[in-house]
Amino acid sequence: MALSHAIMTALLEEPLSGYDLAREFETSLGFFWHASHQQIYRELRTLAERGWLEAEGVAQAGRPDKIVYALTPAGRAALDQWVAGPSRHKPAKDDLLVKLYNVGASDPAPVVAELRERLETHRRNLALYRRIRDRHYRDPRSLPPRRQGIYLALLAGIRGEETALAWCEEAIELLAPLAES
Amino acid sequence: MALSHAIMTALLEEPLSGYDLAREFETSLGFFWHASHQQIYRELRTLAERGWLEAEGVAQAGRPDKIVYALTPAGRAALDQWVAGPSRHKPAKDDLLVKLYNVGASDPAPVVAELRERLETHRRNLALYRRIRDRHYRDPRSLPPRRQGIYLALLAGIRGEETALAWCEEAIELLAPLAES
DNA sequence: GAGAGATATGCAACTTTTTGCATATGATCG
DNA sequence: CGATCATATGCAAAAAGTTGCATATCTCTC
């Protein structure tokens, strides 16, 4: 399972609580690997049991107490090993692409409407990613190695959104005439 | 579940056996929605029970008998309704992008090696998709509606591979110096 | 006739993800 | 004081996907 390793990766820099991690998985790392808080809390307990993480309860004033998880040496070793092993790419599954196969058989109007919505989503994502790049990753070559890796992940996001955006425009242009008639 | 609808989509043109469908899901539709034959056979039985498909045993000479599934009017209606409803985009999950966050903490060499392999995969996919486009979708505007939709799905594949390919090259260029030292 | 390979279909166990629900603390605002 | 929101953690059931195994027909080649 790779969720465990994604979590450990997020803990490389500093110990975090499940709540923190859940937010991490909604931004940064989450752009490329989504996980719900239910998944995260469950996985954290599993990893702590296995000895890859260490849990520490932290009492807080002004807010509910929390449990902070830190990477153990064993976890660190497992992570290294995972990085050295083969990767799995699970391609995106997109209803919309399947629906395109139905154009001509079903009404294309909702598909076009969906494309327009998605266009906006890609615009927003792209703007966000570019803002992050401009703020933190202006000159990739002068970054320390770790940041270069993160930069590349971000770059994948940017390129992906650019491509998806352009494709949406092209698709709308081609299908709009069908939807109007 | 969308697998059911992907299967029905594949049956829009003509009735197919589970085996045929499994191959369909390894090419055409399968570029955007992967499914194993185990999943497909299971789903086919479920759909037939629900009345969305009709199963017909076909005796064959020269090869094992098969079961051919056809879309029923009820299935057709369900498909229309699905097309009109909201779509879900499940973004890709890619170990490699998570591993990039580990560059600087773990040895980057295997990551670079993986990037090189992936570069080749993208090259192959791109060549394949382009071949299909050149053969069957040369002039998209003059295609009948149904084929236009399929063309757009193919185009999404082409653009995606182009982007991924270029990104791999950029990533290798940036990380190669780190891996050598 | 033995073996490999395409065709054809399936079970069972397991892992992973999704969905819906549940709970509790403390801050802030009206 | 009540409502709402951010913080913080979790259970349980269902759906979806993966993995490993199993079986059978028929063709073609050695």
ipTM of the prediction: 0.92
Judged against a pLDDT cut of 70, whether residue B98 lies above it is answered with yes
Q: What is the pLDDT of residue B33?
A: 94
Judged against a pLDDT cut of 90, whether residue B111 lies above it is answered with yes
Alpha-carbon distance of B160 to A164, in angstroms, equals 8
Q: Hey, what amino acid is at A121?
A: T
pLDDT band at residue A28 under the 50/70/90 scheme: confident
pLDDT band at residue B180 under the 50/70/90 scheme: confident
Q: Is the CB of B89 under 7 A from strand C?
A: no
Q: What is the pLDDT of residue A181?
A: 67
Nearest CA in chain A to B87: A95
Query: C-alpha angle with apex B156: B153 to B159, nearest 5 degrees?
Result: 150
Residues of A in contact with B152 (CB under 8 A): 100, 167, 170-171, 174-175
Nearest CA in chain B to A178: B145
Q: Hey, what amino acid is at B156?
A: A
Q: What is the largest CA-CA distance in chain B?
A: 64
Residue whose tokens read 């058989």: A105
Alpha-carbon distance of B134 to B158, in angstroms, equals 12
Q: pLDDT digits over A53-87, tens only?
A: 999 999 998 899 999 999 999 999 999 999 999 99
Q: pLDDT digits over A38-56, tens only?
A: 999 999 999 999 999 999 9
Who among residues 41-70 of A has its Cβ near strand C, under 7 Å? 42, 61-64
pLDDT band at residue A4 under the 50/70/90 scheme: very high
Looking at the C1' of nucleotide D25, which residue has the nearest alpha carbon? B64
- C20 C1' to B144 CA distance, Å: 44
Which among A84, A87, A98 has CB closest to B96? A87
Mutate to test the interface with A, among B27, B34, B83 (most CBs of A within 10 A): B83
Q: pLDDT digits over A110-164, tens only?
A: 999 999 999 999 999 999 999 999 999 999 999 999 999 999 999 999 999 999 9
What does the pLDDT average to over B82-99? 92
Which among B93, B153, B160 has CB closest to A101? B153
Mutate to test the interface with B, among A4, A101, A124 (most CBs of B within 10 A): A101
Q: Is A109 exposed, middle or buried (0-12, 13-18, 19+ CB in 10 A)?
A: middle
Nearest CA in chain B to A169: B152
CB B77 within 8 A of CB B99: no
Provide the 3-class DSSP secondary structure of residue A103: strand
- D1 C1' to A62 CA distance, Å: 20
Q: How far is CA B9 from the centre of its chain?
A: 13
Q: What is the pLDDT of residue B166?
A: 98
Q: Which nucleotides of strand D come closer than 7 angstroms to any CB of the protein?
A: 6-12, 15-21, 24-27
CB A36 within 8 A of CB A13: no
Q: Hey, what amino acid is at A115?
A: L
What does the pLDDT average to over A20-39? 94
Nearest CA in chain B to A6: B98
Which among B84, B85, B106 has CB closest to A83? B106
Looking at the C1' of nucleotide D16, which residue has the nearest alpha carbon? B1
Residues pairing with B56 in the sheet: B68
Looking at residue A106, what DSSP letter applies? B
Report the candidate in A85, A6, A154, A137 with the shortest Cα–Cα distance to residue B102: A6
- C24 C1' to A17 CA distance, Å: 17
Alpha-carbon distance of B101 to B108, in angstroms, equals 10
Nearest nt to the B23 alpha carbon by C1': C7
Helix ranges, chain A (H): 3-10, 18-24, 37-50, 73-84, 95-100, 109-136, 145-180
Mean pLDDT of chain B: 95
Q: Is the CB of A22 under 7 A from strand D?
A: yes
Q: What is the pLDDT of residue B1?
A: 73
Q: pLDDT digits over B11-66, tens only?
A: 999 999 999 999 999 998 999 999 999 999 999 999 999 999 999 999 999 999 99
Residue A50 φ/ψ, nearest 5 degrees: -75, -10
Q: What is the pLDDT of residue B97?
A: 95
Residue whose tokens read 């849990």: A55
Report the candidate in A7, A13, A16 with the shortest Cα–Cα distance to residue A147: A13
Which among B29, B95, B163 has CB closest to A163? B163
Residues of B in contact with A79 (CB under 8 A): 102, 105-106
Q: How many angstroms separate the Cα of B146 from the Cα of each of B116, B134, B160?
A: 37, 18, 22
Residue count of chain A, please give it.
181
CB A96 within 8 A of CB A111: yes
Alpha-carbon distance of B31 to B121, in angstroms, equals 13
